């Protein structure tokens, strides 16, 4: 992790093939949640991170479902549908629906945001 001076200076460093802006909070007009701007060979994008600084939600590299799909799943469950009915409607495995509804998957809240460079 970068020291406090580097985090707040807004420096962009290259690590392997990716570029990372060293800050956990959005800065300036181009660093608004969900808004991306171009830089170099990739695109800068704000992503949600947990308290450990790791990507969460649909911004995680291994995420299969968008946040909107997760929200819809939870709304259907709040409406009284069974896991099987939700699974058929959303085309998700029943065990995934159960884990989402019980908070075992996608149950973290964003504690900050990080700007990362994603390939075009």
Q: How many domains does the structure of the chain reveal?
A: 1
Q: What is the mean pLDDT of the chain?
A: 75
pLDDT 10s digits, 101-119: 998 888 888 889 988 877 6
Would the pLDDT of 48 be above 50?
Answer: yes
First to last CA, the chain: 26
Would the pLDDT of 1 be above 50?
Answer: no
pLDDT confidence tier of residue 42, bands split at 50, 70 and 90: low
pLDDT 10s digits, 89-103: 999 999 999 999 998
pLDDT 10s digits, 61-95: 888 999 999 999 999 999 999 999 999 999 999 99
Range(s) of the domain holding residue 93: 4-119
d(CA 11, CA 19): 10
Q: Which range among 8-12, 13-17, 74-78, 84-88 shows the weakest confidence by mean pLDDT?
A: 8-12
- How many angstroms separate the Cα of 113 from the Cα of each of 47, 74, 91, 106? 5, 24, 30, 16
The side-by-side arrangement of strands in the sheet containing 112-119 is 12-15, 18-21, 112-119, 42-49, 36-39
pLDDT 10s digits, 51-62: 998 898 888 888
């Amino acid at each position: 992790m970068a020291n406090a001076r580097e985090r707040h200076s807004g420096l962009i460093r290259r690590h392997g093939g990716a570029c990372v802006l060293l800050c956990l909070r959005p800065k300036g007009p181009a660093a608004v949640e969900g808004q991306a701007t171009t830089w170099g060979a990739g695109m800068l994008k704000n992503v949600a991170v947990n308290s450990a600084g790791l990507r969460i939600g649909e911004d995680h590299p291994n995420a299969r479902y968008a946040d909107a799909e997760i929200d819809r799943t939870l709304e259907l469950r709040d409406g009284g549908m069974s896991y099987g009915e939700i699974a058929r409607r959303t085309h998700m495995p029943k065990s995934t629906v159960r884990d989402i509804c019980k908070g075992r998957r996608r149950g973290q809240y964003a504690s900050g945001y990080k700007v990362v460079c994603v390939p075009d």
